[in-house]
């Protein structure tokens, strides 16, 4: 009996110890659980509260209003207009096809636009609003609003859309906006979330794209409560957007309008620059196009018409176009020889109509020659042989060095698309680019602005402004940002003796006013407004020895695309230079006949600030000029700028 009792006592003790251990473990587990619960409920409560809110609160972006672009006088050239549009939410529309069929009985919808919208709608969540149509009339929106009960999921809406009130005049400068494409996103390393918004528009060319980040602004946000399916229940709060920055250009809309109208029949480009400040007052490229066509997405028909036009309306000839400058380059050749001391100011060269070098003849444009020529007469009459000799003595490297000092061969820093650098050839350039040695004959071609020399109208305008001022004027396009003036650099004095600069200016004056000047027909007779200029003609085809022997074919007897380019550079007034101009007329023939007349007219508009008076022209030209201006008005090209100015 004692043995049984002992076993019972031992078993009871064992059970008691196990109970204590198990109980302890349970208490420990409960303690740990309590500590964790305390940590989650007290210490980490804020984190879990935010996670929970994310399940029911969404943050949506509010697109900012795009910055407005003005001309120098405060006339809007790119602005935001109310855009009446129709929105559809797929989850509310029920039978989408049936709903859209009802809508089309009320509003005309473009088939291509509708197809793109439907494709976008089915790519996105059913509760995301999609734009079915925009740029609608108020009457269309009112019709939809009245019929809202039978159009489930359809909502009339008002947003902002880009508008270019002066149309073609500023197309190449301001550019245009368009919907963000996959290509646009691929070029951006860290895309702004705004760019993910369907049909959000960004700059595509011109100032619109180069100053995109400034013009776009910053998005606002609104916090909205959504249900488990993602449907919006209510708005909880918002942070307003920051609008884009307004830009004021240096361009004068009246002068720009006149320049576009004056060049409208040509394939041409013209740049007007303030000689003192470097401000660009006009950059006309003709023909132009209506940038408003691109805002919604241009049709294939319209785009193909622009693309296939032989005058290249989509091409900005003022900065993208590179042309042999022809005789407008001769001032550089003359200055290079003078500065190098290899030719004296009054030294003469005999021109028999050609120069022979290495067994090859380099011809002057005047077949019989000019006779004895000094620098003044050589520029006035544009004698090629004089400049062959000057370049041969100075060497191409000195010529290239001086040309760069005058702004050629330089990519000027402007917020425009495809601003090109041009070419000022040298021995080093040819070795690097072509891996070849320089040929002495190439120096002669370079001397008269042919061969490898290429320049844009912008660069030629800068060159002319530097000749007129004697300073390193730099071109400027932005005058102010949000009303704050953009500071400009102080121009340094060019490293050319003043007496040499004076010789070049006097020769350019004779080009326009001398009895034998090549631009005498385009002179300005208004007192105090006399113009100094230089004509240029650049070949686009080779003239064979056989053709030269029988007589060079006249430009008007050649197909348009084989005719010479006409160029002209000038500044005025001669005594107190204010504005400089450079004009190219593609395949226009001679610079004196094709480029000098419109340059004179545009320069006169800049000087007068309006359509030039007939008294500024030679008396025998006034009737023709009057008829010309009447025709420009009849074509309704000159009214646009004045209308905008009154607004």
Residues designated catalytic: 327
> For residues 243 and 267, what is the distance between their CA atoms, to the nearest angstrom?
38
> For residues 388 and 443, what is the distance between their CA atoms, to the nearest angstrom?
8
Q: What is the four-CA torsion angle of 199, 205, 208, 209, rounded to 10 degrees?
A: 80
Q: Are 204 and 314 in contact (CB under 8 A)?
A: no
560 Cβ contact list (under 8 Å, min separation 6): 310, 587
> For residues 449 and 539, what is the distance between their CA atoms, to the nearest angstrom?
10
3-state DSSP assignment of residue 312: coil
> For residues 423 and 454, what is the distance between their CA atoms, to the nearest angstrom?
5
State residue 303 phi and psi, 5-degree precision.
-65, -45
Q: Which of 480, 389, 385, 382 is nearest to 73 (CA)?
A: 480
Q: Is 291 left (phi over 0), alpha (psi -120 to 50) or beta?
A: alpha
What's the angle, vertex CA 175, arms to CA 169 and CA 177, rounded to 5?
130
Counting beta carbons within 10 angstroms of the beta carbon of residue 30, is it exposed (0 to 12), middle (13 to 18) or buried (19 or more)? exposed
Q: Which of 584, 631, 622, 585 is nearest to 604 (CA)?
A: 622
* Cα distances (Å, whole numbers) of residue 4 to 1, 7, 8, 402, 474: 5, 5, 6, 124, 116
Number of other residues whose CB lies within 10 A of the CB of residue 363: 16
| Residues, the chain | 647
Tokens of 319: 């900065």
> What is the three-state SS of 395-462?
CHHHHHHHHHHCCCCCCCCCCCCCCCCCECCCHHHHHHHHCCCCCHHHHHHHHCCCCCCEECHHHHHH
Counting beta carbons within 10 angstroms of the beta carbon of residue 77, is it exposed (0 to 12), middle (13 to 18) or buried (19 or more)? buried
Q: How many helices (H) and strands (E) does the chain have?
A: 26, 21
Number of other residues whose CB lies within 10 A of the CB of residue 7: 10
Number of other residues whose CB lies within 10 A of the CB of residue 470: 17
314 Cβ contact list (under 8 Å, min separation 6): 289, 306, 307
* Cα distances (Å, whole numbers) of residue 525 to 531, 592, 600, 615, 618: 9, 17, 11, 8, 6
């Amino acid at each position: 009996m004692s043995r049984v009792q002992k076993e019972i006592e031992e078993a009871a003790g064992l059970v008691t110890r196990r109970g204590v251990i198990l109980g302890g473990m349970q208490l420990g587990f409960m303690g740990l659980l309590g500590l964790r619960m305390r940590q989650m409920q007290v210490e980490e409560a804020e984190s879990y509260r935010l996670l929970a809110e994310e399940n029911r609160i969404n943050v949506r972006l509010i697109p900012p209003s795009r910055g407005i672009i003005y001309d120098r006088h405060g006339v809007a050239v790119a602005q935001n207009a109310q855009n009446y549009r129709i929105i559809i939410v797929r989850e509310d529309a029920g039978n989408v096809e049936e709903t859209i069929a009802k809508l089309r009985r009320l509003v005309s919808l473009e088939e291509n636009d509708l197809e793109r919208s439907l494709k976008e709608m089915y790519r996105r969540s059913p509760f995301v609003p999609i734009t079915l149509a925009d740029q609608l009339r108020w009457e269309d929106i009112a019709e939809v609003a009245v019929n809202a009960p039978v159009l489930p999921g359809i909502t009339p809406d008002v947003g902002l859309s880009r508008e270019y009130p002066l149309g073609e005049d500023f197309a190449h400068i301001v550019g245009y906006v368009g919907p963000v494409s996959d290509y646009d996103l691929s070029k951006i390393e860290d895309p702004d979330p705004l760019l993910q918004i369907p049909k959000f528009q960004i700059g595509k060319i011109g100032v619109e794209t180069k100053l995109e980040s400034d013009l776009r602004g910053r998005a606002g946000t609104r916090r909205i409560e959504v249900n488990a399916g993602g449907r919006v229940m209510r708005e909880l709060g918002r942070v307003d957007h920051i609008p884009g920055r307004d830009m004021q250009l240096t361009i004068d809309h009246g002068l720009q309008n006149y320049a576009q109208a004056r060049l409208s029949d040509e394939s041409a480009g013209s740049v007007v620059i303030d000689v003192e400040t470097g401000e660009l007052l006009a950059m006309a490229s003709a023909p132009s196009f209506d940038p408003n066509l691109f805002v919604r997405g241009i049709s294939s028909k319209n785009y193909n018409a622009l693309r296939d036009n032989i005058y290249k309306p989509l091409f900005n000839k003022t900065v993208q176009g590179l042309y042999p400058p022809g005789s407008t380059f001769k001032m550089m050749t003359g200055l290079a020889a003078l500065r190098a001391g290899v030719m004296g100011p009054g030294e003469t060269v005999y021109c028999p109509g050609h120069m022979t070098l290495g067994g090859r003849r380099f011809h002057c444009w005047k077949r019989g020659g000019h006779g004895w020529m000094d620098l003044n007469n050589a520029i006035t009459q544009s004698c090629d042989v004089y400049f062959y000799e000057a370049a041969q003595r100075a060497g191409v490297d000195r010529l290239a060095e001086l040309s760069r000092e005058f702004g050629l061969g330089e990519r000027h820093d402007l917020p425009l698309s495809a601003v090109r650098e041009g070419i000022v050839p040298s021995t080093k350039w040819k070795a690097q680019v072509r891996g070849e040695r320089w040929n002495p004959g190439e120096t002669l071609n370079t001397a008269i602005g042919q061969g490898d020399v290429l320049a844009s109208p912008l660069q030629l305008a800068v060159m002319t402004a530097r000749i007129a001022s004697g300073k390193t004027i730099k071109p400027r396009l932005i005058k102010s940002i949000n009303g704050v003036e953009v500071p400009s650099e102080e121009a340094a004095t060019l490293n050319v003796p003043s007496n040499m600069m004076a010789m070049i200016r006097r020769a350019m004056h004779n080009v326009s006013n001398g009895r034998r000047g090549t631009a005498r027909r385009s002179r300005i007779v208004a007192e105090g407004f006399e113009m100094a200029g230089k004509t240029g003609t650049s070949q686009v085809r080779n003239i064979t020895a056989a053709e030269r022997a029988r007589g060079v074919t006249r430009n008007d007897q050649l197909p348009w695309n084989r005719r010479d380019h006409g160029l002209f550079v000038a500044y005025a007034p001669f005594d107190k230079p204010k504005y400089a101009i450079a004009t190219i007329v593609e395949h226009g023939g001679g610079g004196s006949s094709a480029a000098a007349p419109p340059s004179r007219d545009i320069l006169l508009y800049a000087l007068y600030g309006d359509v030039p008076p007939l008294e500024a022209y030679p008396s025998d030209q006034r009737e023709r000029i009057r008829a010309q201006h009447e025709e420009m008005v009849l074509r309704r090209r000159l009214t646009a700028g004045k209308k905008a100015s009154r607004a």
